[in-house]
Structure 1
Amino acid sequence: MRTLARRETMRFISVWQQTLLAPLITAGLFLTVFALAFGRDRAPVMGVPYLAFLAPGILMMTVIQNAFANTSSSIIIAKVQGNIVDTLMPPLSPFETLAGYLAGASARALAVAVVIAAGIGLAIGHWPAHPVLLMIYVFMGALLLGGLGIAAAIYANKFDQMAAITNFIVTPLSFLSGTFYSTDVLPPLFQTLTHWNPVFYLIDGARFGMIGASDAPIGQGLMVIAAFTLIVLGLCWNWLRTGYRMKP
């Protein structure tokens, strides 16, 4: 398990320009575009300037996308290339295999979070109000989206199937979760739909960790995220146990 975790961690460290520098640049571009689009005319949101409100949403969105990519790319590439057997043959239990993949996703998520949080602090002068809570949400986001990446890669047998899951499930969940706006401005129906989106609670928790304000109660958010995470990881564990769509 330690070897698998090390392999998954070294996969993203060896290409840090793509996995750490690129997310920082992307987050910077988002902030730059919104700063140029709204300038100083945008009213404060939740009592803070709009860029300070926007920054934690971008941070968490980038974190979960990288956690998903770390696990999903590792498994789908191995399946397509036919070397997934190298992971299946060692005497690893389903739990150990799951933990090994999630360790890599968590390491990448935490590294991306630290890099972007530092960039946000230097760029707009806003540092986390509750850094420990922010890291807790980052870790939980890594577990949830890392697990979703494992489930998606197990189910998919081709790159285009994996791309469809990313484009039609993961990306909408990320963008329609209050990343760029407060849910208070939404009509009641869309507010209800948003509160069924677990990514909303990740974004909301990260925002509380950064600015000390949120749309939903923090305790409620933690319970919802924990419930969805247990469901997703339970599904992954069962599929790894049975070899579903993994064994040649």
Structure 2
Amino acid sequence: MNLLAVKSIYKAEMARFFRTIGQSFISPVISTSLYFVVFGAAIGSRIQEVEGVPYGAFIVPGLIMLSVIMQSISNASFGIYFPKFIGTIFELLSAPVNFLEIVLGFVGAAATKALFIGLVILGTAALFVDLTIQHPVAMIAFLVLTCLTFSLMGFIIGIWAKNFEQLQLVPLLIVTPLVFLGGSFYSVTMLPPFWQTVTMFNPVLYLISGFRWAFFGVSDVSIGISLGAIAVFFVICLTIVWWIFKTGWRLRD
């Protein structure tokens, strides 16, 4: 393992993040505050509790997952796409580093950024509602696994994309609707039976449900199924990345 190569890629990606630290810090604080104003105040005044949890607190795990997933994809996809765009990817591919070291550098940096944003949102949410985390170890585990998994997904999107428009295509048209329809701001039990069944085919539901269980001990699906779902998704993304480097798909074109 060439740790120097991993460290170099990681530091270069994190340097880009720290150059815009103000924007990276202020943006999630403002957006989280707006969500609490709209959902917490407007809807929370009509829905007092969901499964015994105050509505304002109930939406916190969904808010964190929404931002973490989008930030993971965005940071990882741009991180690998930009070297492709300016042509420096060929220098990286010809360097004495293997695909695992490249992935660790880019994906590790993207996951770190998303984890930071998630913690900022958690701290902001604590200013609005009383939060008790019943299973802190499980909460951290879900948060880290989500950051890593969707950073891998973003890495794949960045390699697949041929222009900046395509970088936004999958997050906007596929991932964002899945997050909003995955129980971010409501419990699946509140839906009619038919839509409950449909929602069970949404993979994001299992992530949000497991993450919410770590906070409040309530979930729409079994915690074991949630962990299994994110583990399977992680392995699938890692396998796709391995195949991309093995074949050179969209890297040596």
Range of TM-score over shorter length: over 0.9
One of 72, 77, 81 as aligned partner of 1:72:
77
Q: CA separation in 1, counterparts of 2:111 and 2:73?
A: 10
Q: CA separation in 2, counterparts of 1:98 and 1:190?
A: 38
Unaligned runs of 5+ in 1: none
Change over 3 Å in CA distance of 1:187–1:42 after alignment to 2: closer
Q: CA separation in 2, counterparts of 1:14 and 1:87?
A: 23
Following superposition, the deviation at residue 81 of structure 1 comes to 2.5
One of 196, 202, 220 as aligned partner of 1:197:
202
Correspondence 1:160-179 to 2 at 5 A: 160-179=165-184
Correspondence 1:72-151 to 2 at 5 A: 72-151=77-156
Q: CA separation in 2, counterparts of 1:124 and 1:188?
A: 31
Bigger shift: 8-17 or 63-72? 8-17
Bigger shift: 171-180 or 16-25? 16-25
Q: CA separation in 1, counterparts of 2:16 and 2:132?
A: 30
Following superposition, the deviation at residue 39 of structure 1 comes to 4.5
Aligned residue for 2:53? 48
Contact 1:9/1:103 (<8 A) preserved: no
**Can you list the C-alpha shifts for 1:15-58, whole angstroms capped at 9, x where unaligned?**
11232321222122111111332253313101011111111100
Change over 3 Å in CA distance of 1:12–1:192 after alignment to 2: farther
Change over 3 Å in CA distance of 1:188–1:240 after alignment to 2: farther
Contact 2:44/2:55 (<8 A) preserved: no
Correspondence 1:166-245 to 2 at 5 A: 166-245=171-250
Contact 2:188/2:220 (<8 A) preserved: yes
**Count of equivalent residues:** 248
Following superposition, the deviation at residue 230 of structure 1 comes to 0.3
One of 17, 22, 27 as aligned partner of 1:22:
27
Q: CA separation in 2, counterparts of 1:193 and 1:140?
A: 25
One of 158, 163, 168 as aligned partner of 1:153:
158
Contact 1:27/1:62 (<8 A) preserved: no
Give the partner amino acid of 1:114. L
Give the partner amino acid of 1:208. W
Give the partner amino acid of 1:143. L
Change over 3 Å in CA distance of 1:14–1:132 after alignment to 2: farther
Normalising by structure 2, report the TM-score. 0.91
Identical pairs, percent: 35
Contact 1:120/1:127 (<8 A) preserved: no
Give the partner amino acid of 2:131. H
Q: CA separation in 1, counterparts of 2:225 and 2:41?
A: 35
